[in-house]
């Protein structure tokens, strides 16, 4: 699979490392251009670098791993027809206020899908800390394998991303459509806490729409 990553921060780099180790092709990008990514060239062997537009053109599947406040900055035409893996999270202190989110009227991934009407958005990789991505990956069949939640309105795209998670070392738990993806957004019981598949299902079920866990409870 060819994976284009828009956002070369910790999440993007960790997914790139796992994907390359699993035999996939990867291009990382950031908003400042390939000339600013010498550390990727030297530190992630085998990873290609390019502009965000080049990463989108390169990819079968695109990972969007940028601060949520900037999601509108990615032109929709770049991602037309693509599966887009949405790793965004809403942090009001960082992103500013989004009243519809503060009123629990929508989800971060629903907003992204409305911006990308020609894309197949899958919420994934937002509910794990960047430093845990490589550390917690396990081979298929491992008894201590961690599970990650996946949500999408497109069952085929969700299935493809679930297979990719398996390649990268994780079980996938189907968390429903994008309107249910609030169950593993920031400050919910499933957010960034390591669970196996059954434990993750319980945490998703326990989530309450307008109830948040204490800020920072997910940091270990």
Q: Using one digit for the tens of pLDDT, what is the confidence trace for 53-73?
A: 999 999 999 999 999 999 999
217 falls in which pLDDT band (50, 70, 90)?
confident
Q: Using one digit for the tens of pLDDT, what is the confidence trace for 109-143?
A: 999 999 999 999 999 999 999 999 999 999 998 99
33 falls in which pLDDT band (50, 70, 90)?
low
Contacts of 2 (CB under 8 A, 6+ apart): 24, 25, 26, 27, 58, 59, 60, 61
Tell me the pTM: 0.94
34 three-state secondary structure? helix
Residue 220 clears pLDDT 70, i.e. is over it: no
- Angstrom distance (rounded) from CA 143 to CA 213: 28
Buried b (16+ CB within 10 A) or exposed e, 63-82: bbbbebeebeebeeebbeeb
Could you state, in order of their start, the residue ranges of all structural domains in the chain?
A: 2-206
- Angstrom distance (rounded) from CA 144 to CA 195: 9
Contacts of 114 (CB under 8 A, 6+ apart): none
Picking from 1-5, 24-28, 30-34, 201-205, which range would have the lowest pLDDT averaged per residue? Answer: 30-34
Say which residue the tokens 């390591």 belong to: 194
Q: Which two tokens stand for residue 94?
A: 């960082």
CA distances from 87 to 10, 35, 124, 140, 143 (A): 12, 24, 6, 23, 26
**DSSP symbol at 213:** P
Q: Using one digit for the tens of pLDDT, what is the confidence trace for 157-186?
A: 999 999 999 999 999 999 999 999 999 999
75 falls in which pLDDT band (50, 70, 90)?
very high
**Architecture of the domain delimited by 2-206:** 3-Layer(aba) Sandwich (3.40)
Say which residue the tokens 């601060």 belong to: 67
What mean pLDDT do residues 137-152 have? 96
Tell me phi and psi for residue 199, to 5 degrees: -65, -40
What mean pLDDT do residues 142-158 have? 97
- Angstrom distance (rounded) from CA 98 to CA 121: 20
- Residue 45: per-residue pLDDT: 83
Alpha carbons within 13 angstroms on the beta-carbon side of residue 119 total 30
Tell me phi and psi for residue 121, to 5 degrees: -85, 135
What mean pLDDT do residues 23-34 have? 86
Mean pLDDT rounded to a whole number for the chain: 94
42 falls in which pLDDT band (50, 70, 90)?
low
Buried b (16+ CB within 10 A) or exposed e, 86-123: bbbbbeeeebeebeebeeeeebbbbbbbebbeebbbbb
Tell me phi and psi for residue 168, to 5 degrees: -85, -10
């Amino acid at each position: 699979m060819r994976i284009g990553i828009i956002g070369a921060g910790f999440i993007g780099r960790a997914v790139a490392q796992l994907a390359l180790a699993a035999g996939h092709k990867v291009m990382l990008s950031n908003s400042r251009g390939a000339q600013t990514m010498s550390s990727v060239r030297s530190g992630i062997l085998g990873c290609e670098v390019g502009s965000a537009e080049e990463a989108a053109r390169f990819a079968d599947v695109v990972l969007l791993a940028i601060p949520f406040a900037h999601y509108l900055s990615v032109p929709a035409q770049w991602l037309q027809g693509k599966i887009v893996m949405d790793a965004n999270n809403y942090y009001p202190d960082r992103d500013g206020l989004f009243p519809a989110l503060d009123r629990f009227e929508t989800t971060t991934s629903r907003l992204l899908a409305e911006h990308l009407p020609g894309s197949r958005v899958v919420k994934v990789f937002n509910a794990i800390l960047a430093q845990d991505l490589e550390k917690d990956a396990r081979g298929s069949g491992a008894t201590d394998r961690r599970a990650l939640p996946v949500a999408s309105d497109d069952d085929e795209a969700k299935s493809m991303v679930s297979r990719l998670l398996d390649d990268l070392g994780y079980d996938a738990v189907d968390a429903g459509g994008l309107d249910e993806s609030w169950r593993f957004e920031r400050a919910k019981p499933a957010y960034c806490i390591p669970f196996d598949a059954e434990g993750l299902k319980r945490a998703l079920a326990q989530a309450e729409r307008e109830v948040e866990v204490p800020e920072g409870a997910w940091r270990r």
